Structure 1
Amino acid sequence: MRERVVPGRTGGLISSGAADALWAALTADSTVPTASAVLACSPADAQAGYVLLGSRVVAMVKTTDGTWRVPEAEVRRAAAELNAVEMDDQDLIRIGPFRGASMKDRDEGTLMRWRQRISRELQELGGPGPAAHSEGGWTSHLAGIDWRRILVQQIRDRTQRSWWLPRAVVRLLDAAEHAETQWLQAAQARQTSTAAARPPSHQQVRPADSRQTGPDAPPARPRPYNGELQGQLYTVLSRKPGASRTAAGWMCAVCRTASAAVLDHCHEHGYVRAPVCQSCNTQERPDHLYSNDIRVAGRYTRLFDTDAADWLRHWHRCPGCRARTTLPLPHLAAWTAHVACRSLRPTHRDARSSRARKPCGVLRVSWTGSQNTPRSCLLTVTVDFCPSGEHRVLAQVPYREAAERFGTWLAEAAPDVAAAAGPDRLDGLPARFRPVIADTSSEGQALF
C-alpha cells in the first residue's frame, strides 16, 4: 500500500496545516473522537515549541523562516497510540464540578490542567453544547480529543449538575497532562544545565558537590511504592505539612503505570492504603446512589474478575480489613451482588443474536444497619431497568453470611492475600477513630 502523500513535507517535517489534516485522517476511525484543527489553536500552546496529540508530546521545530513545523513520524505515532485505545462510553467518571474547587489562578503557563479547563469553559459558556471559542482562547478539544462530543451531563433535583467522561478518555488526558509536565521539567533542566556550562560572569559558582534543589532542579522520577505508609492513620498524616504533595513521589500502587496523585485510605478504619493515581482512585470509589445504596456498574468486572488480585491486595493494605478478612461495607456489598449472586441474575435474549443472552438490567445493592452492628445488617440485591418491566429482588444476604462467603472466595481468588489476612487481632487498631465494632454482644463479636 502506497504511503499517503502529505503536502508540505520537507525532510520529515510538515506544516501545521498538513499535520492537522494528517491527524484527522489517521484518527477518523478511532473510538475516541478527535478534532481536526488541533495545531492551529492548541491548549498546550503550539508556540511554546510542542503540541499534545493524545498522550504524546510532539516537539515542534522552528525553521529559518520563523514558521513552526511538525515531525510527520511523531504525528503518526500519536495517532497509532490513540487508535489503540478502547473506549467504553458506559464506563463514566465524574470530572466536576466539585465543591470548594476554585478556578482562579489554576491555568497559568502552558500546562494543560484539563479538568480545570473543562470546568472553566462549561461554567463560562453555560454547559455542554456546540463548540465555541471564548475570549480566553478556550477550544472544544484537549490534546486533539474533542471532549464535547462525549461529555455527559447529569442533573439531579433540577439544580445539581455534574459532568462525566468515559474512563478511557480520563486516563488518556491524565497521561497527557503528566507527559506535558515531564516534558516541561526536562526542558527546564536542559536549559539549566546549558546555562551552568557557560563561563560564570556575575553568577556565583556552585560547589561541585552541592545538590540542586528548588524549582530549577531536574524532575525526580516517581518511585515504586513499597509500603512506606503502612499502618498510618489518614487523619494524622493529612495534617502534616506538605501532605497534599506526599503522594506525588510514588507511582500508583495499583496500576503501577501512572504517577500517584492522592493517598487512598479506608473510610471505615481510617488507615492509609497506598498512593494511587486519579483514575484508580475513582475506579475504587463505590457508585453511591444514596448513603446505603450503590449501583454495581460494569467496572466491577475489573475489580472482582480481571484485576481482582491487585485490587484485593490494595484493599487489604488496611490493617483493619486485613485482620478481619473482609472489605469495607460498600465494597463487600458490591462483591456480594457481582460475585455471590451472579448465578441468580436473570438473563434475556439478545436482540442482536437469536442464541446469545445478556444479563438483565443493572444490579443495585442496598443495606440496612452497618458493619458496626453486624447481626442487624442486611444486604438486599435487586435488578433495576429490567427490559421486561420487572424490578426483581434477587437475594437478601445477612452481613455475617456475606463476610463468610467473601473469606472463602478470597482464599481461591487471591491465596497470597488470604494467607496474610486474619486471624482477627485488635492490637494496633485505633481504639476510638470509627470503632471497628460497636456491637458488643457476643454474637456480634463472633462474626470476626
Structure 2
Amino acid sequence: MSERVIPGRTGGLITLGAADALWAGLTTDSAVPTASAAFTCSPADARAGYVLLGGRVVATVKAGGGQWRVPETEVRRAAAELNAVEMDRQDLVRIGPFRDAPQQEHTEGTPLRWRRRITQELQELGAPERAARREDGRPYHLAGIDWRRILVEQTHDRTRRTWWLPRAVVRLLDAAEHTETQWLKAALTCQKSATATEPPSHPRQARAADGRQTTSPDCPTTPLRPYNEELKGHLYSVLSRKPGTSRKVAGWTCAVCRTAPAAVLDHCHEHGYVRAPVCHSCNTQERPDHLYSNDIRVAHHYTRLFHTHTADWLRHWHRCPGCRTRTTLPLPHLAAWTAHIACRSLRPTHRAPRGRKPCGVLRVSWTGSQNAPRSCLLTVTVDFCPSGEHRVLARVPYREAAERFRTWLAETAPAVAAAAGPDRLDGLPTRSRPVIADTSGEGLALF
C-alpha cells in the first residue's frame, strides 16, 4: 500500500487538500476505486461537520482562519478499512431503475441516499460518463468511492436499461448511509443536551451555512447489535404495520452476512413469516435476474447460494416456520434449486477455449402451485444456446423435487435438516399461500 507523506504532526489536524492527497495515496491499490477529491468534491461538504469515507464518518473541525480540517488518524483508519474490502466485479447487484417500486422509507436528514442520487443522475443526463461528472468537470463520488468506474449498464430489448454495482460496493454504501443516519441522530441528541444545559451564548455546535449543524466528533453513535432470533415466529403482515419497526430493524446487523447494517425485514412470501433483518445486498442476492408469475431464470449467483454459502442461506430460509416444518423451500427457490442442482448432470456443454462450457442459461417454469402439489410440474429448459437450440432438460413433479431437496439437505447441511420436520411446529395452515404483496417492484412477489 503506497503512502504519501503529509507534513505536520501525525494524528493531528490536516487541511482538506492534504486529506484528499492522503486518501488518494493510501487507497491507490484498493480493490474499490476511490475519488481523488473525497473531501472537496460534491457531495462531500466539510461545513456539515463530517465527511463520509467508505462506511466511516470522518469529523471535520473548523480551525483558525476559518479553514476546515480533519484528523489524519481518521483518514488513515477509513483507508485501511476500505483497503481490506475484497470485491468481485462479476457479483453484481441491480440498483435501478425499478418499475413501479414503492417509495422506501428514508431517515429524515440523511443526505446520502446513494441509490436515489445515482438513479437521478443517470436518468437526467442519460449516460454514465456524463452523469459521473459535474458541470465544473470534477469527478462525482459517493463516500469517497468513484462509482462511475465500476457501474455496469445492461440493456434489454434494445430499449430498457438497468444499472448494476458490485455487491461489495453496495454493502459499503449501505453501511455509509446507515453510519450517516446514526451520526446525525447522535448530533441531534448532543445538540438538545447542550441546549438544555448551556446558555445560548455558548453553543457547543455551530450552524453551517446550509442550515445543518456541525457535529462534535465526541458524540458516540449507537453500535449495531447482532440478530438473535428476536423476531422468530412473527408474521410480517403484523410487524410491518407497527410504528417504529424500520427504526428497530436498522439497529441490527444483517443476519446473513453479519457485517452490513440491516435495512429490511426479509420474509417468506408463501407463509408470511419474518425470516430476519437483512441488508439490501443480501435481500437481493437470492433473487434471479428475471422472475415472472411462474417462470425464473437461474442466474450464476445461485452457485454461491447452493455451494459456497449453502449452510448460511439454508438456515436463513428455514427461519420461516412454514418452510422449516415442511422441510422445503418456497416454490421459486425450490425451482431454482431443482434446475441448478438436481438437473446439473443433464445440462449439455459446448467447446470453449478452456475446456467445455455449460450450454446457455437455465430457465425453470412451473404449472400449478405448491398449494396443489399433485398438479404442480417444474420444467427446466436451456435458453440462449450457442447452437440455436432451446431444449427441455427435464420435467420434475413438485413432490419429487421436494423429496430430492430433503435428501440433498440431509447430506449438505445436516444441522439444518435436523432442525426441520413436521413435528416441530403445530398450528401451521394446511395449505400455504402467498400472503404478502410485492414490495420490491419488478414482479418479485414470490420471493
TM-score class, shorter? 0.7 to 0.9
Secondary structure of the structure 2 residue equivalent to 1:65: helix
Secondary structure of the structure 2 residue equivalent to 1:182: helix
The residue that corresponds to 2:133 in the other structure is 132
Distance 1:273 1:126, change over 3 A: same
Contact 1:254 1:276 in 2 (8 A): yes
Sequence identity percentage: 77
TM-score calculated relative to the size of structure 1: 0.80
1:282-333 Cα offsets, whole Å, 9 max, x none, are 1133433422222222322222222211211111121221121100111111
Measured in 1, the distance between the counterparts of 2:157 and 2:85 equals: 35
Distance 1:330 1:72, change over 3 A: same
The residue that corresponds to 1:434 in the other structure is 433
Measured in 1, the distance between the counterparts of 2:432 and 2:343 equals: 33
Measured in 2, the distance between the counterparts of 1:330 and 1:154 equals: 24
Measured in 2, the distance between the counterparts of 1:426 and 1:64 equals: 67
1:386-419 Cα offsets, whole Å, 9 max, x none, are 4555544433322222111110111122222212
Contact 2:253 2:262 in 1 (8 A): yes
1:219-234 correspondence to structure 2 within 5 Å: 220-234=222-236
Is the aligned partner of 1:330 residue 2:329? no
1:313-357 Cα offsets, whole Å, 9 max, x none, are 111121221121100111111112222233334445553x5xx55
The residue that corresponds to 2:275 in the other structure is 273
Distance 1:350 1:158, change over 3 A: closer
Distance 1:233 1:28, change over 3 A: same
The residue that corresponds to 1:446 in the other structure is none
Secondary structure of the structure 2 residue equivalent to 1:258: coil
The residue that corresponds to 1:247 in the other structure is 249
Is the aligned partner of 1:52 residue 2:52? yes
The residue that corresponds to 1:86 in the other structure is 86
Measured in 1, the distance between the counterparts of 2:5 and 2:178 equals: 33
1:18-65 Cα offsets, whole Å, 9 max, x none, are 332333344334332322222112424222232222222222333212
Q: Which has the higher contact order (CA 8 A, sep 6+)?
A: 2
Measured in 2, the distance between the counterparts of 1:240 and 1:2 equals: 50
Measured in 2, the distance between the counterparts of 1:148 and 1:414 equals: 40
Instruction: Quote the offset at 1:244 in angstroms.
Output: 4.1
Measured in 1, the distance between the counterparts of 2:260 and 2:336 equals: 26
Contact 1:296 1:337 in 2 (8 A): yes
1:183-235 Cα offsets, whole Å, 9 max, x none, are 3333444455555665899xxxxxxxxxxxxxxx9865444333333333222
Contact 1:43 1:139 in 2 (8 A): no
Instruction: Quote the offset at 1:380 in angstroms.
Output: 2.6
Larger mean CA deviation between 323-332 and 160-169 belongs to: 160-169
Measured in 2, the distance between the counterparts of 1:142 and 1:65 equals: 29
Contact 1:189 1:218 in 2 (8 A): no
The residue that corresponds to 1:211 in the other structure is none
Q: How many residue pairs get matched?
A: 415
TM-score calculated relative to the size of structure 2: 0.80
Contact 2:288 2:299 in 1 (8 A): no
CA RMSD of aligned residues (A): 3.5
The residue that corresponds to 2:346 in the other structure is 344
Contact 1:58 1:74 in 2 (8 A): yes
The residue that corresponds to 2:375 in the other structure is 376
Q: Which segments of 5 or more consecutive residues in structure 2 lack a partner in the other structure?
A: 202-218, 436-447
Larger mean CA deviation between 316-325 and 230-239 belongs to: 230-239
Distance 1:3 1:282, change over 3 A: closer
Is the aligned partner of 1:404 residue 2:406? no
The residue that corresponds to 1:312 in the other structure is 314
The residue that corresponds to 2:166 in the other structure is 166
Distance 1:60 1:244, change over 3 A: closer
Instruction: Quote the offset at 1:423 in angstroms.
Output: 2.2
Larger mean CA deviation between 303-312 and 386-395 belongs to: 386-395
